[in-house]
Structure 1
């Protein structure tokens, strides 16, 4: 720990002991960082920025109550049996159940069933992250303004709109495939970790570990290896990017509550803010657009996010309605 160099906000944010100090969780870490800060006064400003970001994170991940889901399915099955016995009451029964299901939607926070075809859909709002445990044991982290759908008895085939990180449970005995389908392509997986983003009318895939076969809408296919990143647009009928990512946390940090920028123009960085929070971005001058930013901002607290960006690149950001207006100081 003492041999590591701390020169950027990312260096601090990626260190678990620093987080413990900021949150006052571990006596050893607290003592170490108090000593380190006292002996590195030139790093006080960057230390405070990193600490503000950690304290600003407000994780509010929502989990579906499995017992509640099971109970509702038992109720549904019982009512379906009752419907078969008394077909004349079909319309009335469906209307009553629809009202009950609407109430359940509000309670479950982003989780609902489409009863007509046994399809399950999870949705998130802007600034919301949702952890999902699929029936096959796979884990999915759903990013803001996104949705994931699958059929009740076939959770190893999912449809994604938006962004999600997958940790697919490998079925050694049956060697069962796992499929992710988007408007641009489909991913064939056996057991691996990867990130998929369908925003901006294209599909971006980053493979963290394992192997993936991509099947594009034009009929072509391609195998990916760990560290690979591919961006494909079916509308343009071509691969937009195909490269290796040297700093993988840039693509997956959102699932831990932060957006990381590495020598990125403020214009490109604000596109991520727009995706995550839903605000329209308005630049008042060209100089602000081209300012480079390196650092981390919270993905769930817009006020802390704005404050961090203002400090990092010396701009003023004003919230006005559903817009963020940016100009140089």
Structure 2
């Protein structure tokens, strides 16, 4: 994002942030380029050409409708049948015509299915939170060090690694389901608000509003109602926790830029900091691990976050390389 002017295709191709935008790999770069393109409409054609070169596809992106494909196929069949009624001496020309037509049809169908099946992935870095609006109208808030994937024309089925909060748009007319898939389970939804986390080799689901069904990898189904929290590990093949949580903010406050602790041990609290920022956690003494912390700390700024924890439990937290070293004051 260092360039000031983008006047040629090479200007775009030389910019790694532009490539990240093309493949939707980095939330910060995606936000930057969405804003830049919206404010530079005169560069749209240049952006499209550069995007084609990055992807490696330079044909027309216009999707071919199913009706158009069926119509062209019927026309082709009619012409072939008409040719078949002609004398046999013209069969060689018919074969040649049919071969060319088949190649053209294959190209048309290839364009259609390539565009139809494009897989889109959103990723966040440590300390980054990304808000995503899906094609079906649903909203997703993606937590740090997480990824969300789905196919371009099927955004009501998503694959999650990490953590995300979902506000699913209910399709009353079609009653269409929404699916969230993880390594442990799948979440079946019609329209509701819920939080899913796949960290620590398990999947945690908290339902804030509505009703959802969990389909566990062991074949079990579980229906959830608002306030339910279920933690399941396919590796251990069991439900680790199944309880009700009356303060929803304990599980969802991260999406608003803070972590809420309710009588949580400092050891468990620092695990959440580790998940958000990627630091290793080192305790100098066992007593500090058992200290209890209650209250909210901001996570949008790691320094302010650590200062808030230090004051809450009277400990010292020092950054050493990629570690946070904790000791009693």
The unaligned stretches of length 5 or more in structure 2 are 1-27, 62-102, 104-113
The structural deviation recorded for 1:81 is 3.9
Please say if residues 61 and 131 of structure 1, whose CA atoms lie closer than 8 Å, have aligned partners that are also in contact: no
Please say if residues 61 and 129 of structure 1, whose CA atoms lie closer than 8 Å, have aligned partners that are also in contact: no
The total of aligned residue pairs comes to: 241
The structural deviation recorded for 1:270 is 0.4
RMSD: 2.8
Q: Computing the radius of gyration over CA atoms, which structure comes out larger, 1 or 2?
A: 2
Match of 1:130 in 2: 130
3-state SS of 2:180 partner: strand
Distance 2:136 2:306 in 1: 40
Match of 1:157 in 2: 157
Match of 1:170 in 2: 170
Is the counterpart of residue 65 in structure 1 residue 34 in structure 2?
Answer: yes
Please say if residues 62 and 131 of structure 1, whose CA atoms lie closer than 8 Å, have aligned partners that are also in contact: no
The structural deviation recorded for 1:297 is 1.1
The structural deviation recorded for 1:61 is 11
Distance of aligned partners of 1:173 and 1:258 in 2 relative to their CA distance in 1, 3 Å threshold: same
Distance of aligned partners of 1:62 and 1:129 in 2 relative to their CA distance in 1, 3 Å threshold: farther
Distance 1:189 1:68 in 2: 34
Distance of aligned partners of 1:67 and 1:181 in 2 relative to their CA distance in 1, 3 Å threshold: farther
Please say if residues 116 and 152 of structure 2, whose CA atoms lie closer than 8 Å, have aligned partners that are also in contact: no
Is the counterpart of residue 80 in structure 1 residue 55 in structure 2?
Answer: no
Match of 1:258 in 2: 258
TM-score, scaled to structure 1: 0.68
Distance 1:147 1:309 in 2: 28
Q: Write the mapping of 1:1-329 to structure 2, written as runs, cut at 5 A.
A: 63=31, 65=34, 68=37, 76=52, 79-81=58-60, 117-329=117-329
Bigger RCO (CA 8 Å, 6+ sep): 1
The structural deviation recorded for 1:206 is 0.2
Match of 1:106 in 2: none
Distance 2:120 2:276 in 1: 23
TM-score, scaled to structure 2: 0.68
Match of 2:7 in 1: none
Question: How big is each residue's C-alpha offset from its partner over 1:131-190, in whole Å with a ceiling of 9 and x where there is no partner?
Answer: 000000000000000000000010000000000000000000010000000000000000
The unaligned stretches of length 5 or more in structure 1 are 1-59, 88-113
The structural deviation recorded for 1:299 is 1.3
